[in-house]
């Protein structure tokens, strides 16, 4: 068009390049948060070193503390049978399977554990993955994609949200535990999508409440969607014999399309599983990236989980005991006027302080009393939802629980008073 002269295009640099992590805004924000914490004079509550198995107690700085900060719900991590099974598996198979299971990494105990989990839950098949977080990411990321829709609980675990982001499907949270709101959303938009995946959790690990899974199953059927239930915190803790949330509700496990669980909590190991129909598991075994392109679960982890589930099966009284102790803890908290939010019938009991500083100082004071409990602070939760979160185990004693609730209430009364705004 012009007289044959091509004007050189000068690239316009619209942003400052960042070529080191120190420059990242995310990193500077992190440093600011750490500085603010240091100013308060309260020691950093993260990465505390625990130099023992953590059951009802833990060893920190050479001191034994009553502990409410680990997921060893049934005391099976450190159980002699579980430890021995892991050691035997290492002696026989080594510390790694040294390949993806698809190509030379398969050991007999992989299939044995997968059959055990499927039978335990009451479905056809299951498949193991090396990480619980990775199990959600790779499964959700793989089973749905562009043109599909993921509807997940507003309080979903990070691994669910990450899986949804990876999938490329449209993602919409629905209000916590609200299957009626979900039903309405589906009535409006179901027709625009090929597959719809609904994701809920058996037990919510921040609040200690749980999903009404039969109602969610009803809604998913009505709208021809698929339902996935994350049992990280309900496997081993819910239902009369610890089989999980389906047993709790007395429902048919096959009414849920995808059961997901972690082996890092009640099962005293590490890794995750997906359980459901033969077709689901077969598809995953040959095509799920986080399975196909990842090493098989290490022998010690497989054997530990297998032994833990066998122990749980032989000793269902562990689940009863956990339930009784959790109920005692909750009742005592309520009697003491503590705010335990929506926790009910689970071993996860928050004590909401509504203020991060109070939560941090409360956990620190409890530590001086010999009690280990993790504070959950802003921005992990809203400032008004800052809390201590207590995880019960079947190994706690009533005495430990009474002492803990009594100390928590006493300190909180003082701290609440100290942090109250001065009145004119
Ligand atoms: N799902 C939920 C609900 C969880 O709470 C967690 C971790 N606590 C995970 C998945 C990830 O499991 P893991 O820690 O075994 O990787």
Verify that 114 and 194 share a domain, yes or no. yes
Q: Which domain holds residue 155?
A: 80-314
Q: Model's pTM, two decimal places? A: 0.94
Per-residue pLDDT of the chain (424 residues; tens, 9 = 90+): 455 666 767 767 788 899 999 999 999 999 998 898 788 777 787 899 999 999 999 999 999 999 999 999 999 999 999 999 999 999 999 999 999 999 999 999 999 999 999 999 999 999 999 999 999 999 999 999 999 999 999 999 999 999 999 999 999 999 999 999 999 999 999 999 999 999 999 999 999 999 999 999 999 999 999 999 999 999 999 999 999 999 999 999 999 999 999 999 999 999 999 999 999 999 999 999 999 999 999 999 999 999 999 999 999 999 999 999 999 999 999 999 999 999 999 999 999 999 999 999 999 999 999 999 999 998 888 999 999 999 999 999 999 999 999 999 999 999 975 555 444 3
Name every protein residue with a CB atom under 6 angstroms from any ligand 1 atom.
131-133, 136, 157, 159, 201, 205, 230, 232-233, 262, 264, 272
Verify that 167 and 272 share a domain, yes or no. yes
Q: For residue 350, what is the domain's CATH number?
A: 3.90.1150.10
Q: What is the distance between the alpha carbons of residues 21 and 417, in angstroms, rounded to a whole number?
A: 42
CA of 268 to the centre of ligand 1 (A): 13
If one residue of 69, 132, 346 were mutated to test the ligand 1 pocket, choosing by the most ligand atoms within 8 A of its CB, it would be: 132
Is 36 among the domain residues? Answer: no
Helix residue ranges per DSSP H, 227-355: 245-249, 278-287, 289-292, 299-314, 317-335
Q: Which of 268, 284, 314 is the last residue of a domain?
A: 314
Strand partners, 275: 126, 259
Q: Please report how the helices 299-314 and 108-121 are oriented relative to each other, as an axis angle in degrees rounded to 10.
A: 40
Verify that 239 and 341 share a domain, yes or no. no
Is 9 among the domain residues? Answer: no
Verify that 307 and 169 share a domain, yes or no. yes
Is 16 among the domain residues? Answer: no
CA of 276 to the centre of ligand 1 (A): 19
Verify that 134 and 167 share a domain, yes or no. yes
399 CB burial (10 A radius; 0-12, 13-18, 19+): exposed
Which residues does 289 contact at the CB level (< 8 Å), separation at least 6?
138, 141, 142
Verify that 51 and 185 share a domain, yes or no. no
Parallel, antiparallel or unpaired: strands 348-352 and 149-153? unpaired
Is 179 among the domain residues? Answer: yes
CA of 262 to the centre of ligand 1 (A): 6
Q: How far is CA 120 from the centre of its chain?
A: 20
Q: What is the ipTM metric for this complex?
A: 0.99
Is 13 among the domain residues? Answer: no
CA of 132 to the centre of ligand 1 (A): 5
199-210 burial, b for 16+ CB within 10 Å, e for fewer?
Answer: bbbbbbbbbbbb
Is 28 among the domain residues? Answer: no
Is 240 among the domain residues? Answer: yes
Which residues does 383 contact at the CB level (< 8 Å), separation at least 6?
354, 355, 356
Which atom of ligand 1 lies closest to the CA of 71?
Answer: 8
Is 166 among the domain residues? Answer: yes
If one residue of 70, 157, 235 were mutated to test the ligand 1 pocket, choosing by the most ligand atoms within 8 A of its CB, it would be: 157
Q: Determine which helix (DSSP H) or strand (DSSP E) holds 114, and give its type and residue range.
A: helix 108-121
Q: For residue 120, what is the domain's CATH number?
A: 3.40.640.10
Q: Report the domain count for the chain.
A: 2
Verify that 179 and 190 share a domain, yes or no. yes
Q: What is the distance between the alpha carbons of residues 308 and 76, in angstroms, rounded to a whole number?
A: 6
Q: Which of 289, 314, 339 is the last residue of a domain?
A: 314
Verify that 190 and 239 share a domain, yes or no. yes
Q: What is the CA radius of gyration of the chain?
A: 24
CA of 422 to the centre of ligand 1 (A): 42
Verify that 48 and 97 share a domain, yes or no. no
CA of 232 to the centre of ligand 1 (A): 6
Verify that 109 and 192 share a domain, yes or no. yes
Task: Specify the 3-state DSSP secondary structure of 67.
Answer: strand
Which atom of ligand 1 lies closest to the CA of 263?
Answer: 15
Verify that 208 and 301 share a domain, yes or no. yes
CA of 80 to the centre of ligand 1 (A): 25
Q: What is the distance between the alpha carbons of residues 21 and 128, in angstroms, rounded to a whole number?
A: 35
Verify that 178 and 102 share a domain, yes or no. yes
Q: Which of 281, 314, 347 is the last residue of a domain?
A: 314
């Amino acid at each position: 068009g012009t007289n044959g002269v091509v004007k050189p295009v000068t690239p316009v640099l619209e942003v400052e390049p960042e070529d080191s992590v120190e420059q990242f805004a995310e990193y500077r924000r992190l440093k600011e948060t750490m500085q603010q914490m240091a100013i308060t004079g309260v020691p950093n509550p993260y990465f505390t070193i625990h130099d023992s198995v953590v059951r009802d107690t833990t060893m920190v700085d050479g001191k034994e503390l009553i502990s409410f900060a680990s997921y060893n719900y049934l005391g099976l991590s450190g159980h002699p049978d579980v430890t021995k099974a892991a050691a035997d598996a290492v002696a026989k198979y080594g510390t790694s399977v040294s390949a993806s299971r698809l190509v030379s990494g398969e050991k007999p105990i992989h299939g044995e554990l997968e059959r055990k989990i499927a039978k335990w839950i009451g479905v056809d098949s299951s498949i193991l993955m090396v990480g619980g977080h990775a199990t959600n990411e790779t499964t959700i990321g793989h089973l749905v994609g562009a043109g599909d829709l993921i509807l997940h609980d507003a309080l979903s675990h990070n691994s669910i949200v990450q899986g949804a982001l990876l999938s490329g499907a449209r993602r919409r949270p629905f209000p916590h535990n609200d299957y009626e709101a979900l039903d309405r959303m589906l009535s409006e938009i179901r027709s625009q999508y090929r597959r719809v995946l609904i994701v809920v959790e058996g037990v919510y690990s921040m609040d200690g409440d749980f999903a009404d899974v039969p109602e969610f199953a009803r809604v998913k059927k009505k709208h021809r969607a698929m339902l996935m239930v994350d049992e990280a915190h309900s496997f081993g803790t819910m239902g009369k014999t610890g089989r999980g949330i389906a047993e709790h509700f007395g429902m048919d496990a096959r009414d849920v399309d995808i059961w997901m669980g972690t082996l890092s909590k009640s099962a005293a190991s590490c890794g995750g599983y997906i359980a459901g129909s033969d077709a689901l598991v077969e598809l995953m075994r040959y095509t799920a990236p986080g399975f196909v392109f990842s090493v098989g679960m290490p022998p010690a982890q497989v054997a530990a989980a297998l032994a833990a589930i066998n122990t749980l099966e032989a000793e269902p009284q562990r689940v009863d005991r956990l339930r009784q102790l959790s109920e005692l803890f909750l009742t005592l908290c309520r009697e003491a006027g503590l705010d335990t939010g929506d926790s009910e019938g689970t071993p996860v009991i928050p004590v909401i302080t509504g203020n991060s500083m109070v939560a941090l100082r409360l956990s620190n004071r409890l530590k001086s009393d010999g009690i280990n409990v993790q504070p959950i602070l802003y921005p992990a939760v809203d400032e008004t939802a800052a809390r201590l979160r207590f995880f019960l185990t079947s190994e706690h004693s009533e005495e430990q629980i009474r002492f803990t609730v009594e100390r928590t209430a006493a300190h909180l009364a003082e701290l609440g008073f100290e942090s109250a705004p001065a009145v004119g």
